[in-house]
Amino acid sequence: MNIKDLDAVALSIRSLSIDAIQKAKSGHPGLPMGCAELAAVLYGEILKHNPRDSKWIDRDRFILSAGHGSMLLYSVLYLSGYNISLDDIKNFRQIGSTCPGHPEFGITDGVEATSGPLGQGIAMAVGEAIAENMLAAKFNTEKYDLINHYTYVLVGEGCLMEGVSAEASSLAGHLKLGKLIVFYDENRISIDGNTNETFTEDIGARYKAYGWQVLSGSMYDMEEIFSLVEQAKADTEHPSLIMLKSVIGKHTPLEGKASVHGAPVGEENVAKTKEALGLDPNSFFQVIPSATEYFAAKREEWQNNENQWNIIFDSWSRDFPEKRKEWDQMMNLALEPGESPVYTVKDVLATRNVTGKMLPEFVKRCPSLVGGSADLEGPNCTKLSDFGIYSSDNPLGRTIRFGIREFAMASICAGITLHGGFRSFCATFTVFSDYMRGAMRMAAIMQLPVIYILTHDSIYVGEDGPTHQPVETVACLRAIPGLQVLRPGDAEEAVEAWNMVMAEKNKPTCLILTRQSLPVYEKDDPDWRNTIKCGAYIVKQGGKNPDVTVLATGSEVSMALEAAKKITEKTVRVVSVVDKELFSSQPDNLQDMIIGKTSRVVVVEAGIKMGWEGFATSKEDLFCLEGFGVSGPGNKIAEFKGFTAEKLAQVLARRD
C-alpha cells in the first residue's frame, strides 16, 4: 500500500469536493472533507472493480447511504477512471450534469443506487448482499468461484437513526450476510448540532445484538482501515460494522461544527482550507499528479482482473452449458412460455387467490424471480411451497421471509433487483404500503421492475376496522410518477394484470387485490385481453352512444354491473379501469372510443375521489368514499357508508 499516493488521492478528493460545492453554492462539504481517506483506500486498495466496465457482474458494490456527501463519491469515481469528466464535477448540482445533488442510479457511471433519503442505502445494500449470496450458491462450483464479491456501505448518524436501517440491519444479522461491510462515519454531528442531544445509544452494542461483528478505528489511518476490512472479511458468519472516528469538515475552519454539514463553507474559508492542505488558494479543482498516476497504474491491474474472470467464465460456460443457459435467462430477466389459469363466469373468488396460482408458475418460468411477504404469505397468497426458504443454510431458497419489516422489505427488494440477475417481489396488505412508500418511490426513480403484491384493498377488509381499511392508499400510490398501479376487477383481469406485470421491465408495479370474493363477469369487448393493456376496456357496451358511462376499478366493477341492471330508462356502459394512470395517458381518441359519446361519466371506486376529478362529469358523479371506514363485516360497512349498488343506481338514474 502506497500511503503517499493514497494521501494524494485523499487530498485531491478534498480539493475537488470543496471547489465543486462552493461553485454550485450548494452541497454538503462535511462528509467528503471528513471521509476522504476512506474513499481513497476503498477505491484504491480494497474494492474489486473495473472503472472501464462499471457493470461487471462480479465487482464489489459500494453504496453511499449518506448520499448527501455525494461529492466524495463523484471525486473518487472521477479520479479512479469512471466515465465522469472534470466538467461534470464543475457542474455539480446543475441541470444536465452527471453529478446531481445526491447519487442517482442510471445517471452517473459507477453509482450503484440512488441514495438520497437516509437509511435506504444500507437497506438496499442488504438486498445487494442477498443477491450475491444467492447467485454464488446457484452458479459457483468446486472448480469455479464465479461469484465472489462484497457489498460495502458508508453510513452516517442520520442513516443509523432512521428506522429502515434498523429493520434491514436486523434481518442482515439474522441471515448471516458475512459479505456485507458497513463503514460508520462516526463524527457525532447532525444538521441541528451534536448528536449527544438526540442519539446517545450504544450503537456498537445495538449492532452486536443484531448479530453483527463490530469493529472500530480511525477514519484517518488507511492501513488500519485496510486491516479492519480484512478482519471483517475473515468473519463469514456475520455482517460487519466498522465504526470510524472522524471529524466532520476536516481541515476547514468549520471542522467539527454542524454548520459544515450542509452548506458551502464560503470563499474565504475555501482559501483557508486550501492553505491548511498545502494547496494553492488561487487555483481551483486541483488534482495532485501522483494521484492521477496512481490510478492510471491501477486501471491496468483492474482490467487484468476482469480479463482473468472472463477467461474463467468462458471455461465455466463450456463445462456447464445448462448453467450458462440459466445464467443468461437470469441476467435478462427472461420468462419462459407457459400457461395461465383459466377462469369462467361461473367462478367466484378473490383476486388475491389468482396470485396463489400464478406466482408459483412465474417463479418456475422465471429463474430470476425471488421475494416474499412481510409475515403475511398466507393472506397475501404468496406461498411458494416448492422453492424453499432463503436462509444462511439454504441460499438457494426463492422465498425470502422478511418478517414484519415493510420499509426494509421494499428497500431490500430494490437492492436485489439493482444487483443484477434477479427480479424481486414483496407483499403485504395494501394499507401497509404506507410504510413502504419511500422505498417504492425510490424504485420508481430508478425504474426498477420490483413487484408489490398488495392485498386487502378496501373497506371490504371488514372487521379489522379503519386501521386496516385503505381508502386513500391507492390514490397515494397512483400519485408516484413511474409506479404502475393495477387494480383488476375479477379473476380473469387479475390473470392479465399479472401478465402485464411480468412483461414490464422498466418500472415497478403494484398489484392491488381483494380479500373478498368477486364474480367473474362477462365482457362485451371480444378483444379485451389486448385492450386492457391500454389501462381500461369496455365490460358492458350499453349501446353505441350510452346515456351514462361508469368508470369502475377493482371490486367496484361488479357493483357497477349490478347497478346497471337496475336502470331501465337509460343505457349504461361499464368500463373497467385496471390502470387509471395508463388510461389517462392514452390519446384522446382512444379514451373517447372506450368511454363513448355520452353526456355523463360516473366514477366508482371504494376509495377517495382524488385523481378522478378529470374523468367525472361533475362532482356529484364521483361515487367514492369520504372519510375512513369502520369496524364490521365488509358488506355492512358498505351499507353504513352508503356505498352500494342501489345507491349507485340512484346516481346513474339521476336526471341531468
At 155-185, the pLDDT tens digits run 999 999 999 999 999 999 999 999 999 999 9
3-state secondary structure 182-207: EEEEECCEECCEEHHHCCCCCHHHHH
Q: What average pLDDT does the segment 188-215 reach?
A: 97
Using pLDDT thresholds of 50, 70 and 90, give the confidence band for residue 655: confident
H-helix or E-strand spanning residue 354: helix 351-365
Q: What average pLDDT does the segment 534-540 reach?
A: 98
- pLDDT exceeds 80 at position 350: yes
Cα separation, 263 vs 268, in Å, equals: 14
pLDDT of residue 297: 96
Cα separation, 19 vs 9, in Å, equals: 16
H-helix or E-strand spanning residue 566: none
E-strand ranges in 199-312 read: 213-218, 240-245
- pLDDT exceeds 90 at position 187: yes
Q: What average pLDDT does the segment 92-106 reach?
A: 97
Rg of the chain on CA atoms, in Å = 28
Phi-psi region of 280 (alpha: psi -120 to 50; beta: other; left: phi over 0): beta
H-helix or E-strand spanning residue 135: helix 120-139
Contact 447, 435 (CB under 8 A): no
Q: What average pLDDT does the segment 196-201 reach?
A: 96
Q: What average pLDDT does the segment 393-408 reach?
A: 98
Q: What is the pLDDT of the chain when averaged over all its residues?
A: 97
Active site residue 326: no
Q: Is the dihedral of CA 389, 395, 398, 401 positive or negative?
A: positive
pLDDT of residue 656: 64
Three-state DSSP state, 369:
strand
Q: What average pLDDT does the segment 533-546 reach?
A: 96
Q: What average pLDDT does the segment 430-442 reach?
A: 98
Q: Is the dihedral of CA 276, 281, 287, 289 positive or negative?
A: negative
**Displacement of CA 526 from its chain's centroid (Å):** 37
Contact 12, 291 (CB under 8 A): yes
Cα separation, 236 vs 241, in Å, equals: 13
Q: Is the dihedral of CA 517, 436, 504, 359 positive or negative?
A: negative
Read off the C-alpha cell for 427: 407483499
3-state secondary structure 477-515: HHCCCCCEEECCCCHHHHHHHHHHHHHCCCCCEEEECCC
Contact 129, 151 (CB under 8 A): yes
Query: Catalytic: which of 162, 306, 406, 496?
Result: 406
Read off the C-alpha cell for 338: 407457459
- pLDDT exceeds 80 at position 370: yes
- pLDDT exceeds 90 at position 316: yes
- pLDDT exceeds 90 at position 599: no
pLDDT of residue 412: 98
- Percent of the chain residues topping a pLDDT of 70: 100
H-helix or E-strand spanning residue 5: helix 3-24
E-strand ranges in 311-365 read: 348-349
3-state secondary structure 572-594: EEEEEECCHHHHHCCCHHHHHHH
Q: pLDDT tens digits, residue range 476-496?
A: 999 999 999 999 999 999 999
Helix-helix angle 289-319:70-80, to 10 degrees = 80
- pLDDT exceeds 80 at position 16: yes
Q: Is the dihedral of CA 180, 183, 189, 190 positive or negative?
A: negative
Using pLDDT thresholds of 50, 70 and 90, give the confidence band for residue 336: very high
Q: What average pLDDT does the segment 632-645 reach?
A: 97
- pLDDT exceeds 80 at position 400: yes
Read off the C-alpha cell for 486: 393495477
Contact 65, 115 (CB under 8 A): yes
H-helix or E-strand spanning residue 485: strand 484-486
H-helix or E-strand spanning residue 429: strand 423-429
Read off the C-alpha cell for 213: 461483528
